[in-house]
Amino acid sequence: MPRGVPAVDLICGGQEVDSRSVSDMLRATTLLLLSLASIMPAVAAPRFAVVRITEIYQNLTSTQTMLLELQKDRTEILKDERAVHLRNVLDELKQLQTQLQAKRDAPVDDSLRKLAQQYEIKRQEGQTLQEEFQVFDAEKRKEINRKMVTTMRATLTKIDETARTIAREQGFDGAFDSSANSNTGVPILLYVKNAPDITKDVVARLQDAGEPSSAPAANPAPLPGAAPTAPGAETTPQP
């Protein structure tokens, strides 16, 4: 503040006013600001909702039906004639091996040589059949996986679109999948406080659209992975 210039002069542009006038001006300014604040439109905070996509997907009747069909398709692989033939050859190979083990201390003669020759022929046949079945098994699994991914993607798209529509209709600014996890298994949505859950609304809308849902189970069926293993594949006998 310049020396010799009263504060009142600085506030009032050099005009001579007393402190009472300054107080009245400040009071009037405050009242004006409060009036402006009262008539300005209030900006509402964003509203967000959550939805449990995984739970909805697991409990859909169509999902349960798909899982049963996939299980049936995988079981059919082991009923294929290639698998049946392979198991029969491996059983014969096991019997020949038992016979050879029983004669391991016997002197080598024509019958033992013939038995060893039969075993080797059967072993090679089993190995060839095993390789053929592995190729067939791999192709069938790819076919099953393509079917699973196509069906799963279509169902999740329908759930996603339904959730978006309901969130928009109810005036929310956004909706988050509270059941989603990252690639490391960590939940994507770590914390949410009192966010409205529209899961039941989505389920009801899907039912109206012809997608019935079963009651939530204590242990809901897991989501199928990208590359399921055919049941029993890990126990397929090796020649």
pLDDT in the model for residue 112: 85
Residue written as tokens 């391991």?
104
Q: Name the token pair of 136.
A: 């067939």
In a domain, 2, yes or no: no
Q: Are residues 64 and 13 in the same domain?
A: no
In a domain, 190, yes or no: yes
pLDDT in the model for residue 181: 86
| Interatomic CA distance for residues 92 and 121, integer angstroms | 11
In a domain, 219, yes or no: yes
Q: Are residues 54 and 20 in the same domain?
A: no
Q: Are residues 137 and 187 in the same domain?
A: yes
Q: Are residues 35 and 153 in the same domain?
A: no
Could you tell me how many residues make up the chain?
239
Q: Are residues 82 and 21 in the same domain?
A: no
Helices (H), the chain: 7-11, 19-39, 53-59, 61-79, 81-102, 110-169, 199-208
In a domain, 107, yes or no: yes
Q: Are residues 154 and 196 in the same domain?
A: yes
pLDDT in the model for residue 39: 62
Q: Are residues 88 and 29 in the same domain?
A: no
In a domain, 12, yes or no: yes
In a domain, 208, yes or no: yes
Domain count, the chain: 2
Q: Are residues 28 and 118 in the same domain?
A: no
Q: Name the token pair of 167.
A: 């969130």
Find all residues with CB under 8 Å of 130, minimum gap 6, and list them: 86, 236, 238, 239
Give me the domain span that covers residue 183.
48-235
Q: Are residues 79 and 154 in the same domain?
A: yes
Q: Are residues 100 and 202 in the same domain?
A: yes
Judged by DSSP in three states, 18 sits in coil
Q: Are residues 84 and 141 in the same domain?
A: yes
| Interatomic CA distance for residues 34 and 28, integer angstroms | 10
Dihedral of CA 34/38/41/43: which sign? Answer: positive
Burial class (CB in 10 A: 0-12, 13-18, 19+), 188: exposed
Q: Are residues 100 and 136 in the same domain?
A: yes
What are the CA-CA distances from residue 99 to residues 104, 105, 122, 127 (Å)? Answer: 9, 12, 14, 20
In a domain, 1, yes or no: no
pLDDT tens across the length of the chain (239 residues): 455 544 444 444 445 545 566 566 666 666 666 665 566 555 678 889 999 999 999 999 999 999 999 999 999 999 999 999 999 999 999 999 998 888 888 888 888 889 899 999 999 999 999 999 999 999 999 999 999 999 999 999 999 999 999 999 999 999 999 998 888 888 888 888 889 999 999 999 999 988 888 744 334 444 444 333 433 444 433 33
In a domain, 84, yes or no: yes
